[in-house]
Each structure stands twice: as structure tokens, then as C-alpha cells.
């Protein structure tokens, strides 16, 4: 409200300074200019103030479509999707420029995609059952894949396919239209990739024109193009992993399974309902969050079986989304024990990074989302250094928040004690793990952070690196009953993190004991081969459930 009052006072002063004859003609221009400046200033930190400014400007100047455009953008940014669509539609009708029509289509696409009455359809004939499915063949629907991406999502996908093959199945994978992007040299991307004899089929690889497609149009396009692949490879079962928004690939999997007459499973890899914004005030409270949650629920309930990563995720799927518990299975993240083994530390790399003589707190993850809580780790390191401990922080990974995190480290005065390594080659990741004295997972209390189990702690454990995690349910599950495998601190509390680290550095024997127990547990309980047998059992369950519900 203070911003609104300041804006009004400034506007009145400027209008009074004008000759009477020119005041009315100038008022609209001042209204927009002042409003736009205030919105640019307020929309990031005080979007509610920005909306009040825009509402007042729209009331006094209803014909000024520039105000309507700004209001559409702020409404969409705060998750008020129905209001954003109404405003965008009014804007496109009153001022049908290409720019305004594109904005209207973009927000309308989000509304349609999350509408319970909308579903993608396979055009043409509707077979009752796919002719002659290949026995044992599994078609995995993935958003992206190796060798073009080497992130945790692609690692789990690839290791799952290898494990499923090891369990006696014949797996293939499809990636979303447009993936992989065209290489920088302008060459045409290949329509297939083969990694460890696993085939990945790419639909419209490198297609740049897809950037103009709205979200529901893209889901429909995915369904149409994937249907051709389903008819070509004739799978016995469909396996859909979470897409960019989670449910988007689930919706595609459901449409394809119904069209082809196949059982399908939905692998819920995370909870994506909050990923539309980094603003914690709206992430779990806006209309758009509720619509995405409901779309995820519909996809889960439609599947013949649901697979997820952790006990807390299963609890949320059963009790939060209302999915029958007998069809929800936990198949956790695992680790490649051949790749992640204890190894000597590279003294040369340590010296190059400036880590000599320090106790290194490290985390390997993307720098995209606030849930990872790297700020908490940096703040705790600054506190420990202020207490005289020779602490360094090593962050390996790249992402949108890197500059913000580097600025935070600078404000804390960490200087060379905060090392941002960026992305490192896939084959070199274990060498970077080896530089870490204590692997810290500082996730903060956010929906996915509370329940989704990350892969990185298992990799650190396999390398016998001690692990410290925040006390969120999915991470406490990794630490184990009695916390024998990892230490914990209060999520979001830098002072708690610093206190636990200080206690652990004073008792190195406790660090070694936990690291040994964690390594033994990972080698027994978190192998991809074990996951292959588990997925085979889920496919059999899904086939039985499909047979029981199909006339």
C-alpha cells in the first residue's frame, strides 16, 4: 500500500504542474509510465502491490491496453491463472497484435492443459488392442536422455532401462518432441541414440519451431507422434516417467495406453506442482498450484500402477492424492557401484581449487531451485570460519541461481573459501566427490524437498564419504533409523548446520563410523540390479490389473 500511496502522490504533483488544457490528454501517458515503473520495481518482491497499482490504473484508464498486458503478466506470475486468462482474452480482443495474441495463447494453454475435461487424443482409428505386442518389450516415455543430458533424471532413466533389460525385458525409450536440441554446429540431430545398447528414439529432434506451440498443443503433439512409435515398436507395457511438469507425460501415457489397449505404469519422479515459481508465497497456495496438483492426481489414479522413490512420497501419493495403496510401489534411487567406489583424493585438483588445509563441505547438485538450500550451507560455512575453523565449501553443478549464490557467498565474505565448480564432465564426477570431507544436503522445507529422495547422497555413501542432511522426511529416511548412516540438522537453519558440523569435526571417529555403515547399506540395499527385478514385478502387477479391468 505504501508503494501505491507514493505513486498517487507523485502522479498528482506531476499533473498539477501541467497547464489545465493539457492535463487530461497527458494523464493516460503518465498513468502507464508511472504504473509500469512501479510494477517493474514491485513485481519481484511485492507482486500484490504491483497488482493494486495495476487495478487502480485499469479503473481510471480502462482503454489503456498496456496496463492490461502488465496485469496479465503479474496475474500469471502469481498463479492466478483464471484471472490471467480473462485479462489476456480481453487484451487480445481489444488489441489483437501478434504479441498480445501470443500472450493470450500462452496463458490459455496452461489453463486448458490443467482442465479436468481436457485430454489429448490419438487421431484416427481407435484400436481395441495393439496387434501382436512383442513379448517382454517395454516402451519408456522420457522427457530427455543420455548421451545429450547427464543429470540425475537421465541417470535414473538409463540405469532403470539397463536393469529392466537385466531382468529379462526388452526396453526401448522415447524422448519428447524437439529433444535433443540442434547442435551449435548446425548439424541435424540424429533421430536415435544408443547408449550401452539401449536405444533412445527422438521425435522431431532439434525442431526449433516447437517454441511457438502452447503447452496443451505440445501435449497433443507428443501424443500424436508417440502413437506412431507405439504402433511401430509394439510394446507389451508402457512406462511413463515424470515430464517437465510431472503429469504431462502421465497424461500422454494414459492416452496412448487407452488407444493401444496396453497396461501402463506412471513413475512419479518428483512433485512438480510447485516448480512453476521460485516465490515461496505462491508456490503451494496459488490457483495454478491447485490445478497442477489435481492434474497429477488424475494421472496417478488412471495408471495401472504407480512407482515412486521414497516412503514419504508413497505416503503423499496414497493419502494426499488418494491413490489406492495396493498399486503404489517404492523403487528408490540407487547407485552404480562400479562407478562410485572409494578412491584416493587428487592432491593436484585440491591445490588448484584452493582447498588445501581446509575441511571441505560439499554438495553436487543443480543450482536451479531454491529447495536445494545452498544459501544455508554457505551461511553455515561463514559462521564456522568466524569461529576459527578452516572450512571451505565446494559446490559442483550449474544453474539459473549460480550468480545469486555467488553474490551471497561474496556478501558473507567467504572469498576463495567458496568454490563454484560449475558443470564437470560425467566421467570426472567421482573425482570431485573425493575432494569432499562431508557431503551436505541442505534442502529447505519445500514440497518436493520434504518428500523426494535425491540420488547424490547414495553416490557419496558408496564412496564412503560422510553425509549430513537436513531433517526433512525423505532425507531422514536415508539417514536411517537411529541415524546410523548420516547426521542431520534442522532444515533451513544455518546455525544448526554449523553446530552439527563443529561437533562432527571434533569427533572424526563418528564420521568414519557413519560412512562405513552407510557404504555397507548402499551396497546391500541400493543397487540398480535390485531395481530391475522390482520393476519387472510392477509390470506383471500392471498387466494383471489391466486384464481385470478390461472386458
CB atoms within 10 A of CB 503: 11
Q: What value, to the nearest 5°, has the Cα angle with vertex 202 and ends 200 and 204? A: 175
Dihedrals phi, psi of 115, to nearest 5 degrees = -80, 130
Do the domains spanning 2-113 and 137-330 agree at the CATH topology level?
no
For residue 45, what pLDDT is reported? 62
Looking at residue 124, what DSSP letter applies?
A: S
Assigned C-alpha cell, 123 = 487421431
HSE-CB for 387 with a 13 A CA cutoff: 14
SS3 174: strand
Task: DSSP letter for 184, please.
Answer: T
Cell of 52: 493494486
Q: Provide the residue-wise pLDDT of the chain in tens; the chain has 551 residues.
A: 455 555 455 545 544 444 444 444 444 444 555 566 655 655 556 677 777 777 777 777 777 788 888 889 889 989 999 999 999 999 999 999 999 999 999 999 999 999 999 999 998 766 656 778 999 999 999 999 999 998 889 999 999 999 999 999 999 999 999 999 988 777 888 999 999 999 999 999 999 889 899 999 999 999 999 999 999 999 999 999 999 999 999 999 999 999 999 999 999 999 999 999 888 888 999 999 999 999 999 999 999 999 999 999 999 999 999 999 999 999 999 999 999 999 999 999 999 999 999 999 999 998 988 899 999 999 999 999 999 999 999 999 999 999 999 999 999 999 999 999 999 998 899 999 999 999 999 999 988 999 999 999 999 999 999 999 999 999 999 999 888 999 999 999 999 999 999 999 999 999 999 999 999 999 999 999 999 999 999 999 999 999 998 87
Model pLDDT, residue 413: 97
* Model pLDDT, residue 186: 76
Please give the model's pTM, rounded to 2 decimal places: 0.87
**What are the extents of the domains in the chain?**
2-113, 137-330, 347-526
Distance (Å) of CA 281 to CA 78, 246, 315: 9, 21, 25
Cell digits for 141?
A: 516415455
For domain 137-330, give the CATH superfamily.
Glycogen Phosphorylase B; (3.40.50.2000)
Q: Tell me which of 3.40.50.300, 1.10.1060.10, 1.25.40.10, 3.90.1520.10 is the CATH number of domain 2-113.
A: 1.25.40.10
Please check whether residue 489 is in contact with residue 471, taking contact to mean a CB–CB distance below 8 angstroms.
yes
How far is residue 268 from each of residues 257, 369, 445, 453, measured CA to CA in Å?
17, 19, 20, 12
Q: Phi-psi region for residue 58, left (φ > 0), alpha (ψ -120 to 50) or beta? A: alpha
Whether omega for the bond prior to residue 180 falls within 30 degrees of 0, making it cis, is yes
Rounded Cα distance, 465 and 514, in Å: 9
- Residue 299 has a pLDDT of 98
CATH class of residue range 347-526: alpha beta
Amino acid at each position: 500500500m505504501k508503494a501505491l500511496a507514493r505513486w498517487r502522490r507523485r502522479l498528482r504533483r506531476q499533473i498539477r504542474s501541467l497547464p489545465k488544457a493539457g492535463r487530461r490528454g497527458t494523464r493516460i501517458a503518465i498513468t502507464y509510465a508511472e504504473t509500469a515503473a512501479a510494477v517493474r520495481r514491485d513485481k519481484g518482491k511485492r507482486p500484490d502491490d504491483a497488482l493494486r497499482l495495476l487495478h487502480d490504473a485499469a479503473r481510471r484508464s480502462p482503454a489503456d491496453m498496456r496496463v492490461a498486458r502488465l496485469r496479465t503478466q503479474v496475474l500469471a506470475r502469481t498463479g492466478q491463472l483464471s484471472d490471467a486468462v480473462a485479462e489476456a482474452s480481453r487484451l487480445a480482443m481489444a488489441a489483437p497484435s501478434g504479441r498480445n495474441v501470443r500472450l493470450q495463447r500462452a496463458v490459455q494453454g496452461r489453463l486448458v492443459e490443467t482442465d479436468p475435461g481436457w485430454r489429448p487424443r490419438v487421431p484416427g482409428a481407435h484400436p481395441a488392442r495393439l496387434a501382436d505386442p512383442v513379448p517382454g518389450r517395454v516402451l519408456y516415455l522420457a522427457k530427455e536422455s543420455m548421451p545429450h543430458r547427464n543429470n540425475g533424471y537421465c541417470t535414473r532413466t538409463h540405469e532403470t532401462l539397463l536393469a529392466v533389460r537385466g531382468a529379462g525385458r526388452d526396453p526401448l525409450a522415447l524422448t519428447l518432441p524437439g529433444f535433443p536440441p540442434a547442435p551449435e554446429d548446425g548439424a541435424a540431430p540424429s533421430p536415435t541414440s544408443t547408449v550401452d545398447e539401449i536405444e533412445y528414439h527422438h521425435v522431431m529432434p532439434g525442431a526449433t519451431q516447437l517454441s511457438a506451440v502452447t503447452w496443451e498443443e505440445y501435449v497433443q503433439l507428443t501424443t500424436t507422434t508417440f502413437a506412431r512409435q507405439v504402433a511401430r515398436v509394439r510394446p507389451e507395457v508402457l512406462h511413463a516417467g515424470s515430464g517437465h511438469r510431472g503429469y504431462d507425460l502421465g497424461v500422454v501415457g494414459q492416452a496412448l495406453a487407452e488407444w493401444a489397449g496396453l497396461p501402463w505404469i506412471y513413475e512419479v519422479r518428483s512433485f512438480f506442482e510447485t516448480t512453476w515459481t521460485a516465490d515461496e508465497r505462491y508456490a503451494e497456495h496459488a490457483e495454478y498450484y491447485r490445478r497442477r496438483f489435481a492434474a497429477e492426481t488424475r494421472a496417478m489414479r488412471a495408471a495401472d500402477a504407480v512407482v515412486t522413490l521414497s516412503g514419504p512420497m508413497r505416503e503423499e501419493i496414497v493419502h494426499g492424492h488418494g491413490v489406492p495403496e495396493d498399486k503404489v510401489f517404492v523403487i528408490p534411487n540407487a547407485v552404480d557401484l562400479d562407478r562410485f567406489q572409494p578412491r584416493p583424493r587428487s592432491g593436484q585438483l585440491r591445490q588448484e581449487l584452493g582447498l588445501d588445509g581446509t575441511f571441505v563441505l560439499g554438495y553436487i547438485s543443480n543450482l536451479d531451485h531454491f529447495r536445494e538450500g545452498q544459501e544455508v550451507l554457505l551461511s553455515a560455512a561463514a559462521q564456522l570460519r568466524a569461529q576459527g575453523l578452516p572450512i571451505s565449501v565446494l559446490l559442483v553443478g550449474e544453474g539459473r541461481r549460480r550468480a545469486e549464490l555467488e553474490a551471497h557467498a561474496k556478501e558473507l565474505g567467504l572469498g576463495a573459501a567458496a568454490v563454484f565448480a560449475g558443470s564437470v564432465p560425467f566421467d570426472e564426477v567421482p573425482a570431485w566427490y573425493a575432494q569432499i570431507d562431508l557431503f551436505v544436503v541442505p534442502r529447505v522445507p519445500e514440497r518436493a524437498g520434504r518428500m523426494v529422495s535425491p540420488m547424490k547422497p547414495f553416490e557419496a555413501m558408496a564412496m564412503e564419504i560422510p553425509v549430513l542432511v537436513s531433517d526433512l522426511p525423505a532425507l531422514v529416511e536415508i539417514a536411517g533409523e537411529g541415524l546410523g548412516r548420516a547426521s542431520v540438522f534442522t532444515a533451513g537453519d544455518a546455525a544448526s548446520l554449523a553446530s552439527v558440523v563443529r561437533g562432527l569435526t571434533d569427533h572424526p571417529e563418528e564420521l568414519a563410523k557413519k560412512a562405513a555403515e552407510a557404504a555397507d547399506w548402499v551396497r546391500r540395499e541400493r543397487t540398480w540390479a535390485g531395481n530391475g527385478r522390482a520393476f519387472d514385478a510392477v509390470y506383471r502387477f500392471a498387466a494383471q490389473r489391466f486384464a481385470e479391468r478390461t472386458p
